[in-house]
Amino acid sequence: MSVKISYFKIMGTGEYLHELEQFIQNEGQLDESILNKGLKHFVLSFVLEKASRLAVDLMTEQRDIYSGQSQRFVRYAKNNLEFYIPKRIRSNHNLKKKYSDLVKFTIDSYIQLIKIKIPEEDARFIFPRCIESNMKFTITGEKLIEFFSYLINNSYTELNEIGYNLIGKLKKIYPNISENIITIINKRKSIYSKINNIEKIFLSKNFSTNPIIQAYTKDPIIECALGATVCYNRGSPTEYFDDMSIEDKINLIKFIKKVGHYSVLEHAFLTISFSMSEISHQQLRRHRLPMRSSTRLEWIVKNFDYVIPPSIKSNEKALSMYNNAMDRIKIFVDELNNMNILEYETMYILPNGTKIDVVLTTNFRDIIHILELRLCQRAQWEVRRWAYNLLEKLINKFPVIFSDIGPPCYKSKCHEGKYSCGHPEIFKKWRENVNENMVIGDKKNNNDVEIINTTATIL
């Protein structure tokens, strides 16, 4: 399988970019901060074809604009599915055959799962990360150096190839800008091992499929209400704020939510940790504002664990097929480990259902946006379960801000059109059950709520 860039387009003021190209030729190369300013109105868009799912997902970690081929809604067939074979495995005839046979076995298992009525979105958990995928990517100029640096200085050969291919195409149009970028990239090589070491600090937390709130803004009512006071008062906001009672501040938060002025909620942050499958985490990557740290797949090849979708767990035949495929993957991974094959190559055989740990930090406004989308019954089941569990904890901790949060059908009408589940009562019933089992704690802080014997069920 060979990666193809089938579309490559630069969107920007052509005359301006030509002037930047000429400036570098006359004045010499620019340092990174100056070049970034020069590139801020530059936009690059391209389409990748036949890249591995792993490469596509790694590229989305850069939090730029992308559209990827869906494994949830696209049904795959054995005769039209290709996969990436890492270089070291490709060069060993015996390993290559074992690798290829295993991938083909998982594809056969996927097809069999579909035949016994397992949904595509659950059957895909069995696919290895080497399966081909397509993606359209659009990146702004101010992120271009970071993007190319990520690709070219990475440990993944496939990403290196994509990076050099892209910058080669750019070089044909703007050679001086391209050479300037390459010089900066070469200077950055030493930082990537340090980045991985820093990530380990964040990933030393406790993890569970039920999200854990690790940290949050102290007194979020005060922080957000102060932001609202700045917006709505003419005089000194701090003096006015100091004269407000806690009830006044709570009422102000309720007011700004009622009128849709959610931006003041960006003054409060929280950090959560959780575990989920890699393929479901891909759904959360589509929200680009949160800062994330996740288990690097190369770190977990020696401790492989996986998620079993409910539709498979409840079907004896499907469960046997699924576990058999996962066992075969585990045996082959152990063999690669014993042969000292690099983790960066071993990880291609790991399945979509691989369990990973995630730390996520974002502001209250953004988490509300995420929840409103992911609480919908049409959201992928694992992400929906995550959203229900997180909302319950947020209502517990911050009732003033989160007590009225739900999918669009909770307070208004469904946005899914002909794809609507037609059952808005599901979330409403769950929400009523949460309310029935809540006891308000310290009213003074208005943040502490204890949930006792919660019986709410996620459907």
pLDDT averaged per 10 residues, the chain (length 459): 89 78 94 90 92 91 82 71 91 95 95 94 94 92 90 91 95 95 86 61 71 93 91 84 89 92 95 94 88 78 91 97 97 93 91 94 96 93 95 94 92 86 89 70 34 30
pLDDT for res 219? 92
Q: Structure pTM? A: 0.86
pLDDT for res 303? 85
pLDDT for res 17? 85
pLDDT for res 64? 81
Q: How far apart are CA 395 and CA 279, in angstroms?
A: 27
pLDDT for res 234? 80
Which residue ranges form the domains of the chain, and what is each CATH number?
A: 4-77+131-198 (3.30.1360.170), 375-459 (no CATH)
pLDDT for res 419? 84
pLDDT for res 446? 36
Q: Which of 412, 353, 413 is nearest to 380 (CA)?
A: 353
| Helical packing angle, 14-27 and 175-187, nearest 10° | 60
Distances (CA, A) of 189 to 182, 400, 411: 11, 47, 50
- Please write down the HEC assignment for all residues of the chain: CCCEEEEEEEECCHHHHHHHHHHHHHHCCCCHHHHHHHCCCCEEEEEEEEEEHHHHHHHHCCCCEEEECCCCCCCCCHHHCCECCCHHHHCCHHHHHHHHHHHHHHHHHHHHHHHCCCCHHHHHHHCECCEEEEEEEEEEHHHHHHHHHHHHCCCCHHHHHHHHHHHHHHHHHCHHHHHHHHHHHHHCCCHHHHHHHHHHHHCCCCCCCCCEEEEECCCHHHHHHHHHHHHHCCCCHHHHHHCCCHHHHHHHHHHHHHCCCHHHHHHCEEEEEEEEEHHHHHHHHCCCCCEEEECCHHHCCCCCCECCCHHHHCCHHHHHHHHHHHHHHHHHHHHHHHCCCCHHHHHHHCECCEEEEEEEEEEHHHHHHHHHHHCCCCCCHHHHHHHHHHHHHHHHHCHHHHCCCCCHHHHCCCCCHHHCCCCCHHHHHHHHHHHHCEEECCCCCCCCEEECCCCCCCC
pLDDT for res 24? 94
pLDDT for res 376? 93
pLDDT for res 148? 94
Give the pair of three-digit tokens for residue 407: 């999918």
Backbone phi, then psi, for 239, in 5-degree steps? -65, -45
pLDDT for res 55? 93
pLDDT for res 327? 97
Is residue 83 a contact partner of residue 103, using CB atoms and an 8 Å limit? yes
- 93-139: pLDDT as tens digits: 999 999 999 999 999 999 999 999 999 999 999 999 999 999 999 99
pLDDT for res 375? 95
pLDDT for res 197? 60
Is residue 345 a contact partner of residue 129, using CB atoms and an 8 Å limit? no
Q: How far apart are CA 381 and CA 204, in angstroms?
A: 27
